[in-house]
Amino acid sequence: MKVSKTVWGAAAACGLLIGMIGGAALLYAKHAGNDKADAGPFLDQSELARFAAGSLAALEAPAALKPAPAYVFRTQGGADARLADFRGRVVVLNVWAMWCVPCRTEMPTLARLATAYADSDLLVLPVNVDTGAEQVAAATAFIDAHPPLPLYSDPKFQLPFELPGKGKMPQTVLLDRDGRVRAYLSGEADWASAEARALIDALLAEGEAAGG
């Protein structure tokens, strides 16, 4: 009987030890997995992600650079326009509509941004997606009240779905001088803020450095 108790005691001790080792291994694996998961979102972001602060907290800055879509939209005069037409300039592309309240709310900040960089290579490019004569007329009057912003339009309401935000409104995409998507943000932001201007300055400086 004593032998049996000894055997069972040894078995219990061995099981406890194995359980402790297994538990420690599981805890480490879980911790390591969490560290990897936490690091994941930063692994595919470029150095421009450092500007994701304040009103730009939702900014995405993909490390993998892709060209802007070749989608055709319209100038105010009805001519075809493509994002490739603006290569050589840093472009702040904003898709908006009159029915989108956050779009209208942030528009004055885009106008202030355009004014502040009027003598630079920056182009603030709002593209309206309203349809119907009444809504288009309202959009024209609205953008005219926010100089120096131009009016571009996408009556098919397709451009937002061609961009990284996949249809979200408002959506703002920043392109470098080579026409590549460098950063984007879905939702309202203050584009006249210090963090927005710092982001713009960084993109403009890239071109200046390359030119030098």
Same domain membership, residue 133 and residue 63: yes
Q: What is the DSSP letter of 68?
A: P
Same domain membership, residue 156 and residue 57: yes
Same domain membership, residue 39 and residue 54: no
The H or E element spanning position 153 is strand 152-153
CA distance 191 to 197: 7
Give the model's pLDDT for residue 3.
47
pTM over 0.75: yes
Give the model's pLDDT for residue 26.
34
Boundaries of domain holding 84: 47-211
Give the model's pLDDT for residue 51.
97
Same domain membership, residue 36 and residue 132: no
Same domain membership, residue 22 and residue 91: no
Q: Tell me: the pLDDT tens digits for 164-208?
A: 999 999 999 999 999 999 999 999 999 999 999 999 999 999 966
Same domain membership, residue 116 and residue 192: yes
Cβ atoms 133, 127 nearer than 8 A: no
CATH number of the CATH domain containing 164: 3.40.30.10
CB-based contacts of 79: which residues, under 8 Å, 6+ apart?
none
Give the model's pLDDT for residue 17.
43
- Number of structural domains in the chain: 2
Q: Tell me: the pLDDT tens digits for 2-20?
A: 444 444 444 444 444 444 4
Cβ atoms 170, 95 nearer than 8 A: yes
SS3 assignment, position 192: coil
Give the model's pLDDT for residue 91.
98
Give the model's pLDDT for residue 57.
97
Q: Tell me: the pLDDT tens digits for 56-114?
A: 999 999 999 999 999 999 999 999 999 999 999 999 999 999 999 999 999 999 999 99
Q: What percent of the chain has pLDDT over 90?
A: 76
Q: Tell me: the pLDDT tens digits for 117-150?
A: 999 999 999 999 999 999 999 999 999 999 999 9
For residue 145, what are its two tokens?
Answer: 């009240």
SS3 assignment, position 154: coil
Same domain membership, residue 12 and residue 59: no
Same domain membership, residue 141 and residue 60: yes
Same domain membership, residue 100 and residue 14: no
pLDDT above 70: residue 43: no
Give the model's pLDDT for residue 87.
97
Same domain membership, residue 157 and residue 122: yes
pLDDT above 80: residue 50: yes
Same domain membership, residue 119 and residue 136: yes
Same domain membership, residue 65 and residue 7: no
Give the model's pLDDT for residue 209.
52
